[in-house]
Structure 1
Amino acid sequence: MGTEAKSEASHVRFVGAVAGIGSGLTKVAVGHGFDTIKTRLQCSPPGTYKNAVDCLLKTVRNESVFALYKGATPPAVGWAAIDSLLLGSLHNYRLFLIRHGLTETVPGTDVKRLTLVGHGIAGLFAGWTSALLATPMEQLKVKLQLQLQRSTSDRQYKGPIDCIRQIVRAQGVLGLWIGFTGSLAFRSNFLWMFGSFEALMRAFSKLDGTPYAISTPMANFMSGGLASFVYWIMAIPADNIKNRMMATPHNLPKPSFTATARQIFVEGGLRGYYRGLGPTLLRAFPVNASALWVYEGLMRVLGAEKTRH
């Protein structure tokens, strides 16, 4: 391979990570307030809130509207890094699977593209990869979101740095990765996210040349939003378990995945695994539609659109 070809290959491998930064920042800007309500519904003692609206009203009444953005600093920094890792690795897993023959021919052409199964597998491995970075970031977010005190001086954690310091002091550096098994289970569901996103994109492409045709950016937006419903319906049980594990005070024994799952079932039965689904679905469409619209748009601008399929 010549120098120019090597440079092009390096560019293609790198652009997914760059585009992922834009996706991560978009998610925080659009969706953090919804996420705070979801986390409180999942991790507060049963009976604390009647529903999502009650949680919203009590939060704003008791702590001000800015309480909806508690814990926003770790996501603002972290989600850019997490989505850079998630979407950058997704892009490279897609390329790897294409190179190793998990392809099909686009109907009516001789062009090869990654199969839908391949898109799902790439999403699965990208989700697992991103769990390495997402686990400590999400633990900080959960712990900061669950502080109900209006005044910073009354809170256990004064901010993300203080939260890190207290966790490491009590449990060592590996304490930041409590909930890792829950994170792996939760992020496995990116299989459904990116598999369904690709299926929807192909469905929209079949509308080309009809009165119902829409632009590629609009197809990205709609596919991202609709795929997020598939993702969250599949992922919300693992999300509940993950967040409960991360919410465990650091002066208590480290929680296990199975023990946490049993505790949720004892408290709320099967419905307990779906706490927070309402605000999650309200948040899902605008957040993921916007994030994938930004990601796919940046991929086109950066010249990597030809490698996507």
Structure 2
Amino acid sequence: MAAATSTSVQTATQVSSKSGKAQHIDRLIGIPAGIASGVTKLIVGHPLDTVKVRLQTEGGFGRFKGPLDCLMSTVRKEGFRALYKGATPPLIGWTIMDSVTLTTLTNLRIFLHSYHPDTPLHTYEHALAGLGAGLTVSFVATPIELLKAKLQVQYNTTGEGKLYSGPVDLAQKLVKNHGPSALYQARGYSDTATAFIAGGISANIFWTVSYPCDVIKNRIMAQQDPGYQSKKWQYNGIRACAKHIYKTESVKGFYRGFVPCFLRSFPMNGAAILVFETVSSTGKKFFKEN
């Protein structure tokens, strides 16, 4: 997500110098372009994301020896489709998230530029627009990431051991047991909000810096539902989760699953950017010709 959002800066900067019909087109083109970008990221990146989340959340208890073992074990025991567990929430969600993010980002930059139309946006104005877009989309991103993480670590696929039949069933049970706020655990570590706050850092550098936060986020999101009778979650907050990881696994616990994450960031974001720019430029050309 970091690379996709940071590379939209050039597109939005170009938008800020336009007016009339061209500006109206640019306000709307982010929707189909964002949808295409979200689908592309899911297809390319979700299998390695599943490996990443499983390594992050297994807690160093010896389930997997490493990323390759996790990948092979998952395919061998659960089939290739298991790599796309939890794909439904991001399939729907990432298309919405990318559309909301890129459309909000573009419109905020247009709004800010209206105060001084004869000069380019300043760096702090780009930062404000990015922060606004990140905060807005975090309300969509957090429930999606939470449902995805819990489904990705559901190892039992049949019988009584299967806790959830799908994302809808999972969401219903969480809300029934703990109320709507259960869908917003670890909201402070939304991928999109963190990416925007990080600014223009590239995807690989971004993950190197922010990865411990992602581990904490997924540990909190993927923790097993204690049920209606027992209201006590294993981790009752970010600090408690961080202390537990450090105490039981030391510093290396904050970098579990880093390799698949690092490897997926370039092709996933590169493909997403390519699709976004292609759909965006094609859409603009179509509307202008008509």
Alignment TM class, shorter chain as reference: 0.7 to 0.9
1:25 aligns with 2:39: yes
Deviations 1:269-301 (CA, angstroms, capped at 9, x unpaired): 232222211001111111100101111222222
Residue aligning to 1:259: 240
State the distance in 2 between where 1:132 and 1:248 align: 20
Aligned-residue offset at 1:53: 0.7
Residue aligning to 2:11: none
1:190 aligns with 2:205: no
Residue aligning to 1:234: 209
Match of 2:166 among 154, 159, 171: 159
Stretch of structure 1 that moved more, 146-155 or 277-286:
146-155
Stretch of structure 1 that moved more, 252-261 or 128-137:
252-261
State the distance in 2 between where 1:129 and 1:77 align: 17
Task: Describe the shift of the 1:234–1:256 C-alpha distance in structure 2 as closer, same or farther (beyond 3 A).
Answer: same
Residue aligning to 1:62: 77
Residue aligning to 1:74: 89
Contact 1:124–1:189 (Cα < 8 Å) also in 2: no
Deviations 1:51-99 (CA, angstroms, capped at 9, x unpaired): 1011111111211111111111111111111111122222223323433
Residue aligning to 2:111: 96
State the distance in 2 between where 1:279 and 1:189 align: 18
Task: Describe the shift of the 1:112–1:18 C-alpha distance in structure 2 as closer, same or farther (beyond 3 A).
Answer: farther
State the distance in 2 between where 1:50 and 1:38 align: 13
**TM-score, length-scaled by structure 2:** 0.80
- Paired residue secondary structure (1:264): helix
**Which amino acid counterpart does residue 42 of structure 1 have in structure 2?**
Q
Contact 1:182–1:245 (Cα < 8 Å) also in 2: no
Match of 1:38 among 36, 52, 70: 52
Aligned-residue offset at 1:192: 3.9
Contact 1:43–1:247 (Cα < 8 Å) also in 2: yes
Deviations 1:14-62 (CA, angstroms, capped at 9, x unpaired): 2223321111111011111010000000011312212101111111121
Match of 2:148 among 114, 123, 141: 141
Unaligned runs of 5+ in 1: 104-110, 197-226, 305-309
1:86 aligns with 2:101: yes
% identical equivalent positions:
38
**Which amino acid counterpart does residue 248 of structure 1 have in structure 2?**
Q
Stretch of structure 1 that moved more, 260-269 or 139-148:
260-269
Residue aligning to 1:201: none
Match of 2:260 among 268, 279, 284: 279
Contact 1:42–1:276 (Cα < 8 Å) also in 2: yes
Stretch of structure 1 that moved more, 67-76 or 264-273:
264-273
Task: Describe the shift of the 1:258–1:75 C-alpha distance in structure 2 as closer, same or farther (beyond 3 A).
Answer: same
**Which amino acid counterpart does residue 240 of structure 1 have in structure 2?**
V
Residue aligning to 1:288: 269
State the distance in 2 between where 1:152 and 1:100 align: 61
Task: Describe the shift of the 1:152–1:286 C-alpha distance in structure 2 as closer, same or farther (beyond 3 A).
Answer: farther
Aligned-residue offset at 1:267: 2.4
Aligned-residue offset at 1:10: 4.3
State the distance in 2 between where 1:100 and 1:265 align: 48
- Paired residue secondary structure (1:303): helix
State the distance in 1 between where 2:131 and 2:243 align: 25
State the distance in 2 between where 1:264 and 1:32 align: 25
Aligned-residue offset at 1:137: 0.7
Task: Describe the shift of the 1:164–1:79 C-alpha distance in structure 2 as closer, same or farther (beyond 3 A).
Answer: same
Aligned-residue offset at 1:245: 1.1
Residue aligning to 1:177: 184
State the distance in 2 between where 1:96 and 1:235 align: 30
Residue aligning to 1:299: 280
State the distance in 1 between where 2:263 and 2:103 align: 27
Give the alignment's Cα RMSD to 1 decimal.
2.5
Contact 2:54–2:152 (Cα < 8 Å) also in 1: yes
